[in-house]
Structure 1
């Protein structure tokens, strides 16, 4: 079988309402993965697959060629950024860095060209003391930096590989951990079956996307969809209005088949809801056209 503006801890998550635009990519146990990038907020587009440069992060880290297939028992030291959002591989994360400890941490990452890990807070405050976090997160590579007064920064990071925390090694002044890389998504389907499933999810997403734009006028319709099954799965997971806990469950999923099927069902349900909302609006508009605006109620003295 073939292998395949919300306040965060020390930062403001400034993602615009809408959908990040991704470039086209392609392919499918298929080890699923390809070139993922973001034009969102002006991010530049790498045109080829770009594994993370682990050699910058620690001297005993696996090199970039081995990063995707790193031994789960091996460990890499990674700075962690706990937030109340879930970052998926290939997706953009714009942040405004304002808290002192994260100005320090991100400043070190910018200076030394280091990635950092984004993890969802399980328990604790976003700003202040250490928080308990979920064990699975996503490596974020800084793509753009805008330095502001007092050491504050606006940054745009791009999600890369998933990881699992093996051990928290530091909590002050910021959290860091020894982590191991999770495998790329795998499929138990043959290539044609996987293409059919990812195509069905892509079509369901396009329908949902257009219906959402009719329901919510601030919604930005996705201009183009990726071709790769994992890219489609992570785009849909990132964009859909799910709770952080639900998105964390999707991030932890190793099977692209399960991920796509879960998303297909969710898209179908939400599209049905949107159609019901639009039908109700049409009935109201038809009544208003037929009977005119209802007169305001009179008040007797």
Structure 2
């Protein structure tokens, strides 16, 4: 168990997936500034289940993903950062938000890859890419490149699937790679039915 800086967001971060951040709240500007001086510039990202990103008073999810700072650029009153998700964790206890949110966390076990899952991954990719091409307002392009590493690609499929945040949170909580891929397929097919 260790205390880490935390960044509650209205979106889910997946392992092996980039996320651009626009940081403007003073407490998170302080956090990013301190992380830039750190040998291990990582912080936790959790989904806000209820409430708002700005100002606190939110209800935060119990599972999140560590984010590694990849790049930071400063504007007039805002910092633009790009992070990449690393390992998942569970929140054991929230610590006072001063000067920024922090929590005691425990890493979750990494999922493992088995080559027998290749057909399921191929099916999931075909369904997600088809859905992205048809989705009314998809965040990702149907031609988005995935990692050559199969487990990373499985997480990236979860990230690019055109789903709502609660479905994405369910995917983040997967306990097996096969379960993750099966849920990606099922949830994407369900989402296609309502477009």
Aligned equivalents of 1:170 and 1:216: distance in 2?
37
Greater strand proportion: 2
Question: Is 2:44 the partner of 1:123?
Answer: no
* 1:85, distance to aligned residue in structure 2 (A): 0.6
- Please, which of 160, 164, 177 is the counterpart of residue 90 of structure 2? 164
**TM-superposed deviation, 1:271:** 5.4
Pair 1:205 & 2:128 matched: yes
Match of 1:246 in 2: 167
Is the alpha carbon distance of 1:80 and 1:157 closer, same or farther for their aligned partners in structure 2, counting shifts above 3 Å?
same
Secondary structure of 1:134's counterpart equals strand
**Alignment counterpart, residue 85 of structure 1, candidates 7, 11, 14:** 11
Aligned 8 A contact 2:138 2:162 in 1: no
TM-score normalised by structure 1 residue count:
0.58
Instruction: Sort the Cα spacing of 1:216 and 1:118 in 2 relative to 1 into closer, same or farther, 3 A.
Output: closer
CA distance in 1: counterparts of 2:174 and 2:139, whole angstroms: 31
Decide whether aligned partners of structure 1 residues 246 and 267 sit closer, same or farther in structure 2, where only a CA change above 3 A counts: closer
What is the CA–CA distance in structure 2 between the aligned matches of 1:156 and 1:133, rounded to whole Å?
22
Corresponding residue for residue 44 of structure 1: none
Aligned residues: 194
Q: What stretches of structure 2 of length at least 5 have no aligned partner?
A: none
Q: Structure 1 209/149 Cα, relative in aligned 2: closer, same or farther at 3 Å?
A: closer
Q: What TM-score do you get using the length of structure 2 for normalisation?
A: 0.86
Deviation at 1:253, TM superposition (A): 1.0
State the alpha-carbon separation in 2 of the partners of residues 160 and 219 from structure 1: 20
RMSD over aligned Cα atoms: 2.4
CA contact (8 A) 1:194 1:229 kept: no
Q: Is the 8 A contact 1:140 1:157 kept in 2?
A: yes
Which residue of 258, 263, 267 corresponds with 2:179?
258
Distance, in Å, in 1 between the alignment partners of 2:138 and 2:20 is 23
Q: Which residue of 1 aligns with 2:116?
A: 193
Distance 1:131 1:203 in 2: 37
CA pair 267-168 structure 1, distance change in 2 beyond 3 A? closer
Distance (Å, rounded) in 2 between the aligned partners of 1:85 and 1:223: 19
- Superposition map of 1:101-120 within 5 A: 101-113=27-39, 114-120=41-47
Secondary structure, counterpart of 1:133 in structure 2: strand
Unaligned runs of 5+ in 1: 1-74, 275-301
Q: Tell whether 2:22 aligns with 1:96.
A: yes
Q: Matched residues in 2 for 1:160 and 1:218: separation?
A: 21
Match of 2:72 among 142, 145, 149: 145
* Contact 1:229-1:256 within 8 A present in 2 as well: no
